[in-house]
A and B are shown apart, each in its own frame.
Chain A
Amino acid sequence: MRLYRLLLRAFPPAFRDRFGEDMAELFADRCRGARQRGPAAVAGLWLRTTLDVARAGWSERRAARGSSLTERTVAMTGVMRLEQFTRDVGYGLRQVRRNPAFSAIAIATLALGIGVNTAMFSAVDAVLIRPLPYVDADRLAMIWDVVQTDAKFFSTPPEWQEWRRQNTVFTDIAASQPADASVSSDGEPEKLPARKVTANFWTVLGTQPLLGRVFTEDEDTRSERVVVISHGLWQRRFGASANVLGRTLMLNDTAYKVVGVMPREFYFMPARDIDIWMPASFSAGLLRNWGWHDVHCVARLKPGVTLRQAQAAMAALNLRVSEVNGLKPARSAVVTPLREDLAGKTYASLIVLLCASAAVLLIACVNLANLLLSRGAGRRREVAVRAALGAGRGRLIAQFLVESLVLAGLGAIAGLALAIPVMRFLETLVPETMAAVHLTLDGRVLAFSAALAIATGLTFGLAPALGGSRPALQDALRDGGRGTSGGRSHWLQHSLIVIETALAVMLLTSGGLLLQTFQHLRQTDLGIRSERLLTLVTPLFRYREFDRRVAFVNAELERIRAIPGVIDAGGISRIPLTVSDQSTFYLLEGQSREESREQVALTRVVTRDYFSTIGARLHDGRLFDTSDRRSDSPAAVVNESFVARNYPGRSPLGARFKFGALGGKGYWYTIVGVVTNIRDRGVAEELRPTIYRVHEQADQTGDEPSGIVIRTAVDPSSIVPLVRQAIWSVDPQQPIARIQTIDDIVTRQLSAPSQNTALLGAFAVLALFLASLGLYGVLSYAVTQRTSEIGLRMALGATSRDILLSFSRRGLGLTLVGLAAGMILAFIASGLMTTLFYEFRPAFVPAVAAVAALLLVVAAVAVLVPARRASRVDPLVALQHE
């Protein structure tokens, strides 16, 4: 019923208002009748209804548009043309019914092609086309720092300041920084996703708060304690009360005043669910820190400035800025459209999947064109008769095209049913940086699908229509249907086969390559034992003082270890596999300051039992032990990447380094151990040199082991309540957040690649199936058509083996040409995919070999069946055939 109401949108609104309800009633009545007669009757009803709505809606819209003009004449010619069209549609439907096998194949093929593309469009529309919740979002861009060859780096506070002051291409540049915010007032302590933003953030985006105001430049510079909260938090924590403004929110035990509430649809990088926006209030020290890479810069292009101009200007500007401030090596900058950054990795996946689904549709079109060409040859007599009776060529072409459109229309309807499950699947691909979407068959998607059906119908119908409508009158009539179709149409059919084979090979190869990449990801050595490892976060803002913090962390871990079923527990500043930044400059002993510039390592602060808890493997030296107490010559453990970068071929044990930002006051750390690389930044992320320190000795930095990892002997979820109790028994006010297992984290990170791979794989198999169907169809048709020729050849002495060979050779020849062309396409495609996917390392040869083998087997079957039939032709029968 809802679908019917959707269909009714085909009518002009005035018509719908007046009759829509009654029509829906009437349809419901008929539906009830049809349901009693069984599913076939329901399907028939839907088919008739859709055609009826399309026909009537179209002419109503025409009439509505034309009514102001000379009403009658327009209506008359409209009606005449409509009747013609209706007749052609009716004829097309009869053709569908007359050749049920052909029609079923055609409609199924089209349904796959159109359905898949409709679903893909709905996802692309949601992620890449729909307007973003900012004014003139296409003029917004992100600016990234480029240090050495590293593609994109977060910018630094002083860079933001200089860029904002000196640039000529943006109206303004805003900055945002990660922030920690745990609420402790009103209700359970909770850690909230938060960002620090500069006051001009809202003007750059052009967004207004739903309630209240945003903070001012003045409040930002004076470090006032004010916050703007999200719609979600307002609903959740303040019950959507209107007097939330001016209320106090205790964040990290500091009172902040709520000054504004953002609208529901607002979100911004890096996550859709930021709840708190607080003033950035960069300190003077931070504004001098050129190594503090954690700032997102978003900017609005000046009118008339293109992205490319902005890119050039910013690259030059940052080069100048870094020179003036003596930064070595000099830095550049890159400007990217905001939407691209929001879509992130999904952008690449969507583009690849969209291309793949387009290729599937193209194959479907090619296939149908081929089938219709074959059939068109068989219909030459019919065409000749019609032409003889006075049908003009235009009329014939129109009729052929309408027939194709009828097929495409039916295919599109069936495709919509197919699109819905695919859409459910695609929803999960929407990136976390964007608002969650529920993909539906809305007006835009239906319109796209309809347009696609028409375009498809015309694409696959045109060649057969042009070819079939050329009435070689006398020939065809005299010919008696013997039909040796001309060389031209063979040539066309053969190139179509080559095209679809090539496309299928491209998809198969790309799918194979992606599968390899995925396998590679799955087998990634995480550096830890991931099973039954529970993680959670306990923000430590209540323990600013170092000794109290160490004591608290040790105490809570002690209590957790005492829980039955817990094997071991440890603390770390960032839960493994989740955080991609938090890095610092370091200086090796004997290095000059110049040499150490841009020498960055991830830093992690851990408790003594951390490594044993996660099952890290010691590569060299020792792990932290009880001898590592607070002192001014602390120990450090590093990973293999750190060793590979700084001590290639040497043992790093005993070597010393210090952290760059601290200057002369900093401790010298002595390397005591090396662990196997742990994927700290994420399963699919690059490894970085990493330094681990034990928290008792990490008194010189703000890093605190707020992450807890717990190895359990039982199902981790079963002990969660006990863990909460254990922590709250030490401090009942302690917030606890993000409880998840390492396996959950891994699964989540692999879900997008696994879905991409599955989808592309499905497309590839579909393509292979369609292509072999096409090959089979064309060859078996050729056999039927050339029966008499074969008979003649056999009568003249050709053996059935000769015939078999000649047909097989032709089929396999086409396949091989298609295979070669497909490999070239696949090579190009894999180049594209390398730029789109990180960790995409195609091993081309095995993939191509596998694809080639598969294709040849399938093609051999598709070729052999008709070829054998040809070789069994009885010359006597065949010649009589004439």
Chain B
Amino acid sequence: MNSDAYELLPLRPVAYQVLLALADGERHGYGIVQDISQRTAARMNLEPGNLYRTLKWMLEQQLIEESDRRPAPDLDDERRRYYRITRFGWRVGVAETSRLEALVAEAKTKRWSPR
């Protein structure tokens, strides 16, 4: 649907975090929440409503897709849906990262970086 990765920038922080969470592999909703919570030292705690709204948007924009692979049934609840990043999702993630990098670089020239 979206061919131009830059059209979606700036990415909402939650969406960016979801991309980061899925970068290491497929996860289900709770896995995403846990990963984000760990990485942000519990500063970002996603509520279900917010999470699934974001997931819905990301699915629509084809940043992520539902995975049809499931872990062995005894490992996890097989009713859960798993998500993974699409190629387009990778491109958007990279684009957002470079946007942020540019922004940070600029901030550093103003000596805003924390010591």
- Residues of A whose CB lies within 8 Å of any CB of B are 11, 15, 18-19, 21-23, 25-27, 29-30, 48-49, 51-53, 55-57, 59-60
Q: Interface size of B by Cβ–Cβ distance < 8 Å?
A: 17
Chain B residues with CB under 8 A of A51: 47
Give 1 or 0 for each of B45-69: 1 = CB within 8 Å of chain A CB.
0011111110110000000000000
The reply to whether A19 and B33 contact each other, CB–CB distance below 8 Å, is: no
Q: How far is the CB of A36 from chain B (nearest CB, A)?
A: 15
Known: A48-B47, A49-B47, A52-B47. A25 touches B52 (CB 8 A): no
- Nearest-neighbour CB distance to chain A for B17, whole angstroms, equals 16
Residues of B within 8 A of A (CB): 28-30, 33, 47-53, 55-56, 77, 79-81
In the complex, A18→B81 CA distance in Å? 10
Task: Verify A57–B49 contact, CB threshold 8 A.
Answer: yes
Q: Which of A23, A25, A29, A30 makes the CB contact (< 8 A) with B49? A: A23
| Contact across chains for A26 and B53 when beta carbons are under 8 A apart | no
Residues of B within 8 A of A59 (CB): 53
CA distance A794 to B78 in the complex (A): 78
Chain A residues in 8 Å Cβ range of B52: 15, 19, 22-23, 56
Q: Could you tell me the distance between the alpha carbons of A30 and B46 in the complex, rounded to whole angstroms? A: 11
Q: How many A-B contacts at CB < 8 Å in the complex?
A: 54
CA gap between A18 and B49 in the complex, in Å: 13
Contact of B49 with A53 in the complex, beta carbons under 8 Å: yes
A and B contact pairs by CB, cutoff 8 A, 9 listed? A18-B56, A22-B28, A25-B80, A26-B51, A30-B48, A52-B47, A56-B49, A56-B50, A56-B52
Cα-based distance from A59 to B29 in the complex (angstroms): 20
B53 near A25: Cβ-Cβ < 8 Å: no
Quote the shortest CB–CB distance from A23 to chain B (angstroms).
4
Q: Is the interface of B mostly helix, strand, loop or mixed?
A: helix
Q: Would you list the 7 A-B pairs with minimal beta carbon distance, nearest first?
A: A56-B49, A52-B47, A23-B48, A52-B49, A19-B52, A26-B48, A56-B53
Q: How far is the CB of A54 from chain B (nearest CB, A)?
A: 8
In the complex, the answer to whether A25 meets B56 with C-beta atoms within 8 Å is no
Contact yes or no, B47 A25, CB < 8 A: no
Nearest chain-B residue to A56 (Cβ)? B49
Q: A15-B56, A29-B30 are in contact. Are A22 and B49 (CB under 8 A)?
A: no
Q: Is the CB of B48 within 8 A of A52?
A: yes
B50 with A22: CB separation less than 8 A = no
Most chain-A CB neighbours within 10 Å: which of B47, B49, B50?
B49
Q: A15-B56, A26-B48 are in contact. List 16 more A-B contacts (CB 8 A).
A: A11-B49, A19-B55, A21-B79, A22-B81, A23-B48, A25-B29, A26-B33, A29-B30, A49-B47, A51-B47, A52-B48, A55-B50, A56-B47, A56-B49, A57-B49, A60-B56
- B51: which A residues are within 8 A, CB to CB? 26
Q: Would A25 and B55 count as touching, CB distance under 8 A?
A: no
Residues on B with beta carbons closer than 8 Å to the beta carbon of A26: 29-30, 33, 48, 51
Picked from A29, A30, A48, A60, the residue with its CB within 8 Å of the CB of B53 is: A60
Give the distance to chain B from A93, nearest Cβ to Cβ, in Å.
13
Which A residues touch B29, using CB under 8 A?
22-23, 25-26
B77 partner residues in chain A, CB cutoff 8 A: 25
In the complex, what's the smallest C-beta–C-beta distance from A858 to chain B, in angstroms? 43
- Evaluate contact between A27 and B48: CB separation under 8 angstroms: yes
Whether the Cβ atoms of A52 and B50 lie closer than 8 Å is yes
Tell me the nearest residue of chain B to A24, going by C-beta: B48
Chain B residues within 8 Å of A56, by CB: 47, 49-50, 52-53
Whether B50 lies near A25 (C-beta < 8 A) is no
Query: How far, in angstroms, from A94 to B55 measured CA to CA in the complex?
Result: 28
Q: Which of A11, A18, A22, A23 has the most CB of B within 10 A?
A: A22
- Given the complex, which residues of B lie within 8 Å of A21, measured CB to CB? 79
Inside 8 A of B81's CB, which chain A residues have their CB? 22
A78–B56 Cα gap in the complex (Å)?
16
